[in-house]
Amino acid sequence: MLDVRLATTSLAMLVALVAVAQAEPVRDQAAPAVQSSAEARPIRVVLPAPWEPANGQREAVQPSK
């Protein structure tokens, strides 16, 4: 019984691989859009060092007097 399942699975994989190999690549895709300057540059976030305590938002913003 195991041999029949193994042969069936192998045959199905072979058929699937042949179908994928014969498939034509998609050529109707639109050209990628030009990236804007905001998308081209990564967003950088400065995090505190692990040994330094993180400042809360109230401590980071100095009140103006």
Q: What are the average pLDDT values for consecutive 10-residue runs of the chain, which has 65 residues?
A: 90 95 76 64 82 66 57
Please provide residue 17's backbone torsions phi and psi, each rounded to the nearest 5 degrees: -65, -40
Task: Identify the residue whose tokens are 């193994």.
Answer: 6
Per-residue pLDDT, 38: 58
Q: What is the pLDDT of residue 19?
A: 92
Task: Give the DSSP letter of residue 52.
Answer: S
Residue 33, classed as helix, strand or coil, is: coil
User: pTM for this structure?
Assistant: 0.37
pLDDT per position as a tens digit, 26-44: 676 666 666 666 566 778 8
